[in-house]
Structure 1
Amino acid sequence: MKRQGWLLGCLLFFSIGVLWAKDESDLCILQQQAAQDKSLDSYIKVCKYLYQTEEDADLLLLYADSIHQLATDSKEPEHLVEYYIWASEGHCIKGDFERGYALKRVAIALAEKSRLKFEIAHACCDMGYYCNAEARYDSARHYFRRGLKAGEGLAGAEEVCRTMLTNYASSFLFEGRTDSALVYTIRASERSAADKDTAMLIENLNQLGVIYRRKKDLENCIYNFEQALHLCELRGNHDAIAFIYGNIATAYCDWNRPKDAIPLSKKAMEYALKTGNKRRVGACYVNLGAIQIRVAEMRAEGITALLKAISILEQVNDRHLLCDAYNYLVNAYRMDGKLNLAMEYLQKLDKLAHELQTDAERFRYYQAKAALLQENKSYAEAIVYYRRVIDMLRSGYKDARDYEHYKHLSECYLSMNNSSLAYEYLTQAYALRDSVFHTEQTEQLSEYSVKYQTKEKELEIVTLKREQLEQETYMLRHRIIVGSVISLLGILLLGSLYARQRQRARIAMLANAASEKEREFLELRKATELRLTRKYIDGLESERERMATELHDDVCNNLLALEMNIRTISSEESMKLDEQLGLLSNTRDRLRTLSHELMPPVFQYATLEEMLADYVLHLSLPENVHVEYHSTENVDWSIVPKCIGFECYRIVQEAMSNAVKYAGSACIQVELVLDNNNLSILVADDGKGFDVGRKNKGIGLRTIRQRAETIGAKVELTSAPGEGTRLKIDVLI
């Protein structure tokens, strides 16, 4: 009795400990570990968590100071480098980039002086990333080259090297050098595929799609986006899926197909909402609104989407995306003739103009502001921004309708009575338009030339085929002659073939006999397996019955006796034991319920439907889990044989046990259907599911299949990670 009480106490203590551990956050666990160890690795783990979540920059700086204290005590340069790295990240998160960059440069210099290659690669990777963000692309590539030189071939630095390769290619893309970006992104994707880094490969494929979109190669653009989507779906990465669908929608817009782009942008929105990431949701609303305002009949919906985006982005303080949203709203209201609203959002955009980083963003800003100022008849100010647009075009920025900007600039000069400059820019606009027309004509002529050359090749192929047919006719005549000679020789071989035929017939007869023996052996082996399975299940039932009897007759009675003895204590002492008595009574009830579940059902007095309904009704379930039970009404359940009903009952018990223990489901469905002579049982849950293709499926599923085989039932099991589990049993009665 004392031993049982001690075990029960241990069980309760363990359960409380598990619940307490679940309530602890990841950050608290890392902080507790760091407080115990006070080691560099434990401090770095906390810093990494705070850096990834960007939750508390001050706390990150505090742990960086702890690393600095370690460096002071140990005099190890590695500790000091780590301090500078994480302190710089903390200042960057707080927005003090100058301080952050200065600390990062100190970290790189100290790491190079101490020949700490991994720290060099890490610090250079971070520094290059920040340079990319500030549009200092040459500096970014300088740091990436230094980091790759230190990290190449270094064990443990593979991931940071892949990141630097990808960001190195991104620097060319941000700069507008798409050819160089394509070369280095392909190299980065090959490296990610070779290292089996799926997350980085997704980023590489997405970047390839963007590059091909800018190069106006629709086929390769969509192909790479689809490959990235496929990998994202396998990983269940909804955030990346939303981002990629948005890029595909943008690609369709670039090809002047905004109506085809809208469903794709809405698809991106669906996945973004699943993530719960406000920044991603806001970006998708910006993408959807920017596309819808290009379609006149959907412009109102586009404006609504952009206003939703602004509300969300203001909450997360994403000023970069806010610039895009304001820009698109300025154009939308201008096209609707609501110049006052357009000017209001232009003023908001002006306040955030310093956040614009890429040439594409600055080009859109100048274009929108110039067009609105022209509509407001502020021609002098409009000329300033049209001139900036044209300066970017002359510096190499590509725009398919560049001649329109020259034309608008000409109109502004004409409105200011500057006829000479108006004529000059109008002449350039017509020249650019004629150039575009000439290019289209050249492409069309090239297409006709290709078709002509194709026809020429087809004529050559026809001539060659005719010559080939003549050659084949000549060869056929010779084959006929040779065939006649061979036929004569064949007649001479008929005698020997006859003898061989008799030998083959004898061999075939022996083979049939051997096949019959093999079939008999297989039938015998199957019968033996069924017999052994039946024996195993009978033994299992006997053991379950023995355990149920022991629990009911011995343990439950002992607990009852213990409860009665305790209740005989004086009333003053018993008041202190009320809680323990309640716990003892609950334990006894749970043991009694468990013993009833272990006992084999008695089908002499109840049908399968009644037994299952009673089992589900009295089943002890965890909180937030419920069971839905359904059965066919107005049928005679007594026609189900006892042996079949018994095995079906046990199969449902096993399936329900698996769903409660391992699935983590909120709802379990049990359905019993009797249609003529066909009995069907369905047990389904909405839990986490599993891979049905794995080799080790557990003893529970194996027992279910063995029980089904003994009654000739068909088992259908479907499941996948994150999609629940569905078990269906069909048997003829």
Structure 2
Amino acid sequence: MLVFSCSGSEERQIDTSTQKSFDSIKVYIIQNNLGPLEVDSLLKTITLDSVRLNLLQDLSLHYLLLENDSTKFRLYNKRTSKLSQNFDFKKIEADSYWDLGFFFTKRNILDSAYLNYYRAYKLYRSEEQNDLAGKMLLNMAISQEKVKDYLGSEITTVESLKILPADQKKQIYRAYNNLAVVANGLENYSQALKYHERALEIAQSINDKKLIAQSLNNKGFVYQNMGHFGQALIEFKRAIVIEDLKKLDIQLFAIVLENISFTELKLGRHDNFLKTSDYVLKIRDSLKHETGIIASKINRAQYFSKISDTVKTIQLLEEAKYLSKSIKSTKYELRSLKELAEIDRINSTEYLKEFIAINDSLLKEERSIRNKFARIRYETDQYIEETELLSQQKFWISITALITTCGLILLYYYREQYNKFKKLRLQKEQQESNERIYNLLLNQQTKLEEGRQEERKRISGDLHDGILGRLFGTRMGLGFLKPYANSNRIDDYLLELQNIEKDIRNISHNLSTDISDSSESFHNLIDQLVKEKNEISKISFNYHFEESFDFDQISNDVKINLYRLVQECLQNAIKHSKAKNVFVTFRSAQNFLYLTIEDDGQGFDIKKKKKGIGLSNMKFRVHKLGGNMNLKSSGQGTSFIFKIAILKDETV
């Protein structure tokens, strides 16, 4: 069950007129990927401080919203904030804090988000921009609601309503919606419904279909919490028939549709549940809506619980628990553990222990952040007062410093000439010392390398000229004894000595030539894997690779994943294919490496075959490497073709 609370903090939009004004300069910076020093040089050509600030601000917002480049965003955001402070452009400074607050909100770092929203709020208020100040208060209130600081969130939301201009309908909508979410969190459901109804009236007054659908969905969610599933279903159905809802917001459409099917399940109508759930899950997969996918799995678990399929129920809840943990969604992880404890009686105690541990940790974290919120307001206000006092002091200190500087300038000029001469002399001496040290290190490294090579050659010579010669003499001596001894045993000894000579000769050559072929090592790994499968299976496994391709070109990470792909495919062939032959081939073309694994087995129906964890793992590995997987299967066999971009190993 999902509520579309509209509680995410608002980001600042790129101003169209500003973007057009700086389009040519901004495009030049972005397309040429200019570094900080190059951008500084470009900014120096702009004489007006306000123009420079607007350009920096525009770049910062571009990397935040359009490219999601956190490094460049933080760089330009910091410069914007610092420069705006220097030139006392409070509006631009406030905008930079707003952007930074949104950045932290997206990463769920709520105390930092709250701090920057509050800084922006204070600056907007000082500039009498109540519409923007009200937005910042709302963003702060939503951050408070997320850590269950319901009282604080309610107070901050009411503060925002007091200063928001009447024409800011969408912001007023957000305020009433947040008040409803807070009331729902406090289980004051009747008050939550009143606030949602007020938000709905505002949405209808501006004819915003998306906001209307959100409010209807949220009302349904409150009715569900009250156990009034019939009334909840009415609200959800009112939302789903909103014209063009699927086009307006497909994620909201999926949420409402899921809520309808789940409510009908609660009412005992589950004939179409799986069909609807499959459709919703497909939408969420395409949107990569992770929390939505988890919610779908938990709801599907409840369906299978109702039809007494305990195994499927536990499987879905375990999947939901795993996904929740992977995206750090404590809310859904706790919900999964709670339901697992109720279903899986054997492991119920372990699930409850894990639930209690996570819940206690979450409560401590939320309590800590709530305390930080109160401290942030106090410390920020104190900091602003101190800053104003320091500004006055700074003025008089500047005057004093200027007079003092004028009095010391002649002394400085004299000492500067003396220090300049002394510095040049020290620099020259330092340079000569550095050159000597470098030459010593270089000579030492050369001698060490020469020593290593000499030792390798000595060992190689000892093996080749000493031990190898003695083995050869022994073999010749055994050869002369053949007429007087058991011929077969003599032949065996001679063959063994000959093999020993060959091995020693190879070792000698390897020591002499200093070869270390990691590419050959990779081939050996695959070859050994194929030999192992041949030994344990009746299937004939064949391995071929393009000898001209050098595996040193690719990173160790790619090699590991290629090995795992081969391993998984061969294992699947043994288990399921009923094949006689399996062929493993590596080839390269146009900066791509192709791994092909084919068998002549019975194949399977790709459309009907449920995607197991093996196929999912293979797709994950290939996706991680930036490649793709092509799977074909018929009655004549199955083939996997993996296409991987050749990424050079920077560690080589």
Query: TM-score band, normalised by the shorter chain?
Result: 0.3 to 0.5
TM-score by length of structure 2 reads 0.46
Larger radius of gyration: 1
TM-score by length of structure 1 reads 0.42
